[in-house]
Amino acid sequence: MTTQESHDQTGSYVHAGKPFTRDMNYIDDRITADGSSGWQVEAGRYRLAVSRACPWANRTIIVRRLLGLEDALSMAVAGPTHDKRSWTFDLDPGGRDPVLGIERLQEAFFARFPDYPRGITVPAFVDVPSGGVVTNDFSQITLDLETEWTEHHREGAPDLYPVPLRAQIDELNHWVLHHVNNGVYKTGFAGSQEDYEAAYTDLWESLDVLEDRLSRSRYLMGSSITEADVRLFPTLVRFDLVYFSHFKANRQPLRTMPNLWNYTKDLFQTPGFGDTVDVEHIKQHYYVVQTDLNPTQIVPVGPDASILLEDHDRDRFETDTWGPGGTAPQPPKAEEVVDPAHTPLRVSGR
Q: SS3 of 26, please? A: coil
Per-residue DSSP letter, 7:
S
Phi, psi (5° rounding) for residue 326? -85, 155
**Residue 185 bears catalytic tag:** yes
Contact assessment for residue 52 and residue 278, using Cβ atoms and an 8 Å cutoff: yes
Closest CA to 21 of 9, 8, 5: 5
The one catalytic residue in 13, 161, 185, 196 is 185
* Whole-Å CA distances, 208 to 195, 203, 247, 294: 20, 9, 18, 28
Of 13, 54, 196, 286, which one is the catalytic site residue? 54
- b/e burial code for range 118-136 (CB count within 10 A of at least 16 → b): ebbbbbbbbbbeebebbbb
Instruction: Consult the annotation and say whether 87 binds a ligand.
Output: yes
State yes or no: is 46 an active-site residue: no
> What is the distance of C-alpha 143 from the center of its chain?
14
Beta bridge partners of 133: 126
What is the number of H-type helices and E-type strands within the chain? 11, 4
**Rounded CA separation 189/187 (Å):** 6
If DSSP codes are grouped into helix, strand and coil, which group holds residue 312? coil
Q: Which residues are catalytic?
A: 54, 185
Binding-site entries for glutathione: 87
Binding-site entries: 87
